[in-house]
Structure 1
Amino acid sequence: MVTDAGQGVLTVDLDAVVANWRDLSARHGAPCAGVLKADGYGLGAAPVGRALHAAGCRTFFVAHLIEGMALRDALGAGPAIIVLNGFAPGADGQAGLWPVLNSLGDVEAHATAGRADGLPRPALLHLDTGMSRLGLDAGEQAALAADRARLAGLDLHFVMTHLACADYPTHPLNARQAQRFAAAAAAIAPGVKRSFANSSGIFLGPDYASDLARPGCALYGINPTPGAANPMRQVVVLEVPVLQVREIPAGDTVGYGAGYTAPRNVRVATVAAGYADGYLRGLSGRSLALFQGRAVPLIGRVSMDLTTFDATDFPELRPGCRLMLVGGPGNTPDDIAARCDTIGYEVLTSLGHRYQRRYIGGV
């Protein structure tokens, strides 16, 4: 077996994922699905999905058909796997996936296929209520409400919409979307179950409850209540070994563009992780790692495969020691995102595949 002394280790706490799912389900007061798109937000859809399924989760969402087929292989025939971006009738073969119908054209295609062979097609109907992205727009909704016979040939499991501003609790669009969704769902598909809240929507209160919530980021420890304390357990730790430590005199520079000039004699620790591994270039000069619980400042630019840190105050830090790039106090994905004007979602989904992934807990 070939080992790489410079390979970072990404540890995913599956027990924390499951605990987050249980907490979200309890808060919502109804079952929660597990959103596993983008390979489980970069953490591994198959192991995360198996842990959630073992804990009782029976509905999963992915973005693309290929993600759904891979998840079906990992989970077997039991759970519902729903493809948010939809797919053409029959494209899933025998995988037993459910499409989200995002337009009147999608409705017609799947309904026609269901009527043609007498096998109603299982699906979800997506109503756009303010995101202006996917989903039937107001005109399509009105047309479908006026002629519900167009749904013949479909086995609708849920009607859904997606909140645009749930992480801003006082934003007026939240209430408008709730009102629009309630009215449109009643007009188009009375009696069909509804799916409404995302991670942040679960925390908006009972007006945003439905038959099935769809948490994604909160499962993985991202704060669904920005501006307040994070109610979720942390899931991810990324540790990378130090390749080399060198001493440079005051006045020497570090990295591309000579972006850092040493104000004193400095010990520079170099680790094998860079923007090719999802350690974002925007963190250059703005972030830190943890060593034995203490902050080690990032100096110079993050490059493709290497990043440098100021180890001057850590005489015990040597090649082979590990720096924690993600995880620990003040260094969560949300903390890291704030340093380079992005969101924790991007931090997680950017994590590269050169890290060894290690899963703890679960089954």
Structure 2
Amino acid sequence: MTDAGNGHVLFLNWRDTKHPEGGGSEVYLERVAAELAGRGHRVTLLCQAHGTAPAEETTPQGVRIVRRGGRHTVYLFAALLYLSGAVGLGALAGRRLGRPDLIVDVCNGMPFLSRLYARRPVIALVHHVHREQWPVVFGPRVARVGWWIESRLAVRVYRRCRYITVSESTRGELAELGVDPERITVVHNGTPEVVGPAVARTPHPSLVVLGRLVPHKRVELALRATALLATELPTLELVVAGQGWWDEPLRRLAADLGIEDRVRFAGFVTEAHKHELLCGAWLLLLPSLKEGWGLTIVEAGARSTPSVAFRSAGGVADAMSNGETGVLVDDEFEFFRAIRSLVLDGRRRTEMGTAAAAYSQRFTWAMTGANFARVVDEHLPAAQPLADQRVP
């Protein structure tokens, strides 16, 4: 048996933070993995290969990253690497790694289904349920299959496993799918440390959208709101920070709306540049269809910048205090009205920003890591017999 704090934990995730499409879920994974490594665990992350990223590397925090396969084949590689002989990951992963003592299976819509082949305890990590995203990203046929896998098959496969999620909203959605709420532990995101000196607000009204440029982030709503506001506020500026394959359609829409001179597509931004943007912006806009947490809301809040987001997105309701640190809306017209109201009301905006800064301090990565490590330690073989989680 393995003692708590001295086990080999294998994370299965389709991306890492260096992936061009990596986002908040990858940041979460990186931080909790580093925390586990710092507590004496041996930590491995298996994710898809991409670009010029090395097939294997070890981070300064001691997390070993193994990159194999592509967007879809990484799931196959996960099974092959685990099943490749008595040394588990050895034959295909490079040097001997040994079998993990526990697997954290990250279910980003498409799960790894590791419980079907791994004779080790499995924790299912779910940031959010993808019900609304499947038809946006894929056609109707693929969407139906994907949703069946996520909502029916995965629930069956992981029915004896502990779940971790990042918000009460996702916990509720998982319960609706049939997951026993008693098996779901909420471990919130932390707030990235604020680095660099304070940056003054822009002298002109400024909005920022921060995230991957993909359809379900619905940056179009921010563009349309900007077009309407620009007729009243001619100096208004919207900064779209991030990259993704939906970049060109968004640029075309900005041109069609006649707001090319009001929108700046910043592309990928460094942490220092992100700090400047979040400090200088009057408001953060998060029109996303679905979020497990809403990391950018808390990041903006740490810089005293309030946010406007959609209530139906789920986890954003945990990342802000509605009406105090930001505003949650129900439709696009309310989205526009909330933005306009806050842009024109400097006093309310400042009060919300102050409250947002205080609220963000509730969430630290140290606390996140400690809570996650507690769940891991409870489910290592020394704490829980292997047979308790096997699928018959």
Give me the TM-score of the superposition, normalised by structure 2: 0.34
- Bigger relative contact order, structure 1 or 2 (CA pairs below 8 A, ≥6 apart): 1
> Higher helix proportion, which one?
2
> Higher strand proportion, which one?
1
